[in-house]
Amino acid sequence: MMETLDQLFVLLKRWVVGEFPAAWRLWLSPLIDAGAIIGVFAGLFAVTTLLERKGLGRLQNRMGPNRVGPFGVLQPLADGLKMLTKEDIVPRAADRVVHFLAPIAMVTPILLAYAVLPFGRNLVAVDFDAGLLFFFAVGAGTELAVFMAGWSSRNKYSLLGAMRGIAQMISYEVPLVLSAVAVVLVAGSLSLPSIVDSQAGYHWGWLARWHVFTPWGLAGFILFLIAATAESNRSPFDLPEGESEIIAGHLIEYSGFKYALFFLGEYLGLFAVSALGITLFLGGWQAPVPFLAWVPSYLWFGAKLLGCIALFIWLRGTMPRLRTDQLMNFAWKFMLPLVLVNLVVAALWHGTAAWGFFGAGATRWLLGGAVLWLTYSALSHALFTAPGRGPRTYRYAD
Amino acid sequence: METLCFYLFAALAVVCGFLVVANPFSRNPVASAMFLVLTIAALAGLFVLLHAFFLAAVQILVYAGAVMVLFLFVIMLLDLKEEERRSWRKFGLVGGGVAVALIALLMYAALRQSPLGAAGEPRVEGSTAALGELLFRQYLLPFELVGVLLLVGMVGVIWLSKRAVP
């Protein structure tokens, strides 16, 4: 019974596809996958906008939306209607074709990235050999979309925002990919379902074998989260939008549904990169404790995903925005060296996996943790005592 | 199906490649760069048809993702307006013709060695592990040399650009 419930969506799809003539099946199967992914995550987008506005409201000591429907739960519907009925304004000097294509170029690659993510046991659209690489490859497409939006608008602020955005995304893509490489190194595979399988089982019957419970995994997960926040342009890394300096960056000249598409792309990217983090470090759809393993796998995945989203909302409500130089220093002088050391620690962890003496696990943990901690403190010391970093001075505001 | 995909991607690659260098509608360098992105994407599609998924992903990640974005960045920073006004020069025509002739000769020689449609089994199966084995065992020296070459290029660029600023 639980087995059936766990495989519910897989069986459902098999049944639906089986109802059609054989010639259609080759086409129908991916179509169903794509439809399901778009439907589920667009729905999650609507829920998340409401959660975010409510959560941010509470964090900032106000109510948040509470007018449309009971407790404001119909707010996403109202937002959607507003976006759809707004006039679509294109500046006269804009490059019309590129201006039109930019939102599409933003959303399409992100939707493609969902194809390789395993949402539950056997619940993956395409399980192919270089799945992780595919994810990062299509993710690179969004940088191009930001450029297209900023450049085609013929607006100084747009261009500045796009340049900031691209510089930020390129810089933080390096630690993002490198922190994922540590997992690939230990799991020995680029395919996401087999990375999840490598985290199956429990130590001593209760502690899950997730990568986040290893020293390199913990450091990698934190680095991955920071880089993911920057990659999806969310606060405190929302400089490309920077309302107070460059208004809304590459989004200025967009209105109506095109703007909504950018918004959708941003959130879908956030979900995708959270799902990737869960798959790489938090055991994917595995249950955290063995006696709860009967709960369907996709529910575990959904719970972890919602937890990640809540974390991102919390971060957004808590952290002030960085300055551009701080952003760049942090990426290149702190995260990149740390993530490289993390890679070495992961290699050591993998190399000492055969140790069998009593307390070998604790020794490996302490060794890896010590190396990472020393690197972390040295790097943060260097970052805080860098030349040119003194008490803050104001040119105009004194 | 595969043949149809091949012709689709091949046509896309050729047409977009042509539009990169000789776009009749706009002389804007940004338009050229974007057509180059499309060309690269079409080439990645061809790699997929050859079952080289790893190569396809890397092609998109490195070329369309990193290299092209840097190109666009430079275009944005330098504001290459004069590129739009440039006309044909005799030297360019002759040089381009010679280059095309040389590449055509090279392709002709390569095609004569292995006739079309007789490629047989691919040397490396699509698996990433097999490619890694090959790269880090059989072709380790060339691989490392290419890495050093790229590093030299990078150091050279930094040195040159540092000199320009007093």
Within a domain: residue A318? Answer: yes
Band of residue A292 on the pLDDT scale cut at 50, 70, 90:
confident
Q: Is A42 or A245 the better-scoring residue by pLDDT?
A: A42
Band of residue B122 on the pLDDT scale cut at 50, 70, 90:
low
The three-point CA angle B128-A305-A39 to 5° equals 85
Query: Which residues lie across from A202 on neighbouring strands?
Result: A208
Of A129, A159, A170, the CB nearest to B66: A170
Cβ contacts of A147 on chain B, cutoff 8 Å? 69, 72, 76
Output the DSSP codes for A196-234: HHTT-SEETTTEE--GGGSHHHHHHHHHHHHHHHHHTT-
Q: CB B64 to CB A148 under 8 A?
A: no
Band of residue A3 on the pLDDT scale cut at 50, 70, 90:
confident
Span A216-232, average pLDDT? 90
Cβ contacts of B57 on chain A, cutoff 8 Å? 130, 133-134, 136-137
Q: Is A57 or A26 the better-scoring residue by pLDDT?
A: A57
Query: Tell me, what DSSP letter sits at residue A254?
Result: -
The three-point CA angle B71-B77-B80 to 5° equals 80
Span B123-146, average pLDDT? 80
Q: CB B60 to CB A144 under 8 A?
A: no
Asked if A322 and A329 touch (Cβ cutoff 8 Å), the reply is no
Q: CB A138 to CB B60 under 8 A?
A: yes
Query: Rounded CA gap, B75 and B30, in Å?
Result: 7
Residue A65 main-chain phi, psi, to 5 deg:
-65, 130
Percentage with pLDDT > 70 across chain B: 83
Listed ranges A269-283, B79-93, B149-163; the one with the highest mean pLDDT: A269-283
| Cα–Cα distances in angstroms (integers) from residue A334 to residues A232, A326, A384, in the given order | 19, 11, 11
Which ipTM did the prediction report? 0.74
Please give the pLDDT value at position B99: 92
Query: What residues of A are in the B interface, CB distance below 8 Å?
Result: 98, 128-130, 133-134, 136-141, 143-144, 147-148, 151, 159, 162-163, 166-167, 170, 173, 190
Please give the pLDDT value at position A338: 92
Nearest residue to B79 via CA among A170, A141, A240, A163: A163
Within a domain: residue A17? Answer: no
Output the DSSP codes for B43-104: HHHHHHHTT-HHHHHHIIIIIIIIIHHHHHHHHHHHT--HHHH----HHHHHHHHHHHHHHH
Band of residue A67 on the pLDDT scale cut at 50, 70, 90:
confident
Query: Tell me, what DSSP letter sits at residue B134?
Result: I
Q: Is the pLDDT of residue B88 over 70?
A: no
Please give the pLDDT value at position A397: 67
Cβ contacts of A159 on chain B, cutoff 8 Å? 76
Asked if A147 and B69 touch (Cβ cutoff 8 Å), the reply is yes
Tens of pLDDT, residues A37-59 = 888 888 899 889 888 888 888 88
Positive or negative torsion for Cα B79, B32, A105, A275: negative
| Cα–Cα distances in angstroms (integers) from residue A112 to residues A34, A122, B138, in the given order | 9, 18, 35
B23 touches A at CB < 8 Å: no
> Which tokens sit at A263?
């918004």
Span B129-154, average pLDDT? 89
Q: Is the pLDDT of residue B83 over 70?
A: no
Q: Is the pLDDT of residue B165 over 70?
A: no
Percentage with pLDDT > 90 across chain A: 13
What value does the mean pLDDT of chain B take? 81
Q: CB A166 to CB B69 under 8 A?
A: yes
Listed ranges A94-103, A281-290, A300-309, B84-93; the one with the highest mean pLDDT: A300-309
Nearest residue to B42 via CA among B24, B19, B23: B19
Residue with tokens 């003496």: A357
Query: Which residues lie across from A203 on neighbouring strands?
Result: A207
CA distance, residue A329 to nearest chain B CA (Å): 19
Q: How many CB atoms lie within 10 A of CB B135?
A: 13
Asked if A292 and A217 touch (Cβ cutoff 8 Å), the reply is no
Is the overall model pTM greater than 0.95, yes or no? no
B72 touches A at CB < 8 Å: yes
Please give the pLDDT value at position B144: 92
Q: How many CB atoms lie within 10 A of CB A171?
A: 20
| Cα–Cα distances in angstroms (integers) from residue B101 to residues B95, B97, B104, B117, in the given order | 10, 6, 5, 24
Please give the pLDDT value at position B77: 74
Nearest residue to A120 via CA among A220, A33, A196, A44: A196
| Cα–Cα distances in angstroms (integers) from residue A79 to residues A304, A340, B110, in the given order | 27, 43, 60
Of A98, A130, A148, the CB nearest to B57: A130
Q: CB A130 to CB B68 under 8 A?
A: no
Cβ contacts of B80 on chain A, cutoff 8 Å? none
Asked if A250 and A165 touch (Cβ cutoff 8 Å), the reply is yes
Within a domain: residue A298? Answer: yes
Within a domain: residue A220? Answer: yes
Long-range contacts (CB closer than 8 Å, 24 or more residues apart) made by B30-39: B30/A151, B30/B72, B30/B75, B33/B68, B33/B71, B33/B72, B33/B75, B34/A98, B34/A148, B36/B68, B36/B71, B37/A144, B37/B64, B37/B68, B38/B12, B39/B12, B39/B13
Asked if A137 and B53 touch (Cβ cutoff 8 Å), the reply is no
* Burial bucket for residue A80 (CB in 10 Å: 0-12, 13-18, 19+): middle
Of A136, A144, A167, the CB nearest to B37: A144
Q: CB A134 to CB B53 under 8 A?
A: yes
Q: Is the pLDDT of residue A296 over 70?
A: yes
Residues 6+ apart with CB under 8 A from A286: A196, A199, A200, A208, A210, A297, A300
Cβ contacts of B65 on chain A, cutoff 8 Å? 136-137, 139-141, 143-144, 173
Q: Which residue of A has its CA nearest to B44?
A: A137
B17 touches A at CB < 8 Å: no
> Which tokens sit at A296?
């369907």
Length of chain A: 398
Within a domain: residue A154? Answer: yes
* Burial bucket for residue A121 (CB in 10 Å: 0-12, 13-18, 19+): buried
Q: CB B60 to CB A141 under 8 A?
A: yes
CA distance, residue A70 to nearest chain B CA (Å): 45
Interface test with B, best of A104, A147, A157, A250 (most B CBs within 10 A): A147
Cβ contacts of B68 on chain A, cutoff 8 Å? 144
Within a domain: residue A77? Answer: no
Band of residue B82 on the pLDDT scale cut at 50, 70, 90:
low
Please give the pLDDT value at position B84: 56
Q: Which residue of B has its CA nearest to A162?
A: B73
Out of A84-93, A314-323, B51-60, B81-90, pick the least confident: B81-90
Please give the pLDDT value at position B87: 65
Q: Is A391 or A100 the better-scoring residue by pLDDT?
A: A100
CA distance from start to end of chain B: 60
Q: Which residue of B has its CA nearest to A154?
A: B76
Cβ contacts of A143 on chain B, cutoff 8 Å? 65, 69
Q: Is the pLDDT of residue A365 over 70?
A: yes
Within a domain: residue A46? Answer: no
Q: CB A133 to CB B57 under 8 A?
A: yes
In terms of residue numbers, what domain contains A107?
A: 90-383
Cis peptide bond N-terminal to A290, omega within 30? no
Q: CB B58 to CB A147 under 8 A?
A: no
> Which tokens sit at A63?
């109510």
Q: Is A370 or A11 the better-scoring residue by pLDDT?
A: A370
**Domain count for chain A:** 1
Within a domain: residue A256? Answer: yes
B5 touches A at CB < 8 Å: no
Q: Is the pLDDT of residue A398 over 70?
A: no
Query: Rounded CA gap, A196 and A50, in Å?
Result: 31
Q: CB A137 to CB B58 under 8 A?
A: yes
Q: Is the pLDDT of residue B47 over 90?
A: no
> Which tokens sit at A103?
């939102």
Asked if B149 and B156 touch (Cβ cutoff 8 Å), the reply is no
Q: Is the pLDDT of residue A159 over 60?
A: yes
Please give the pLDDT value at position A200: 82
B53 touches A at CB < 8 Å: yes
Please give the pLDDT value at position B125: 56
Q: Which residue of B has its CA nearest to A188?
A: B129
Q: Is B50 or A332 the better-scoring residue by pLDDT?
A: A332
What value does the mean pLDDT of chain A take? 85
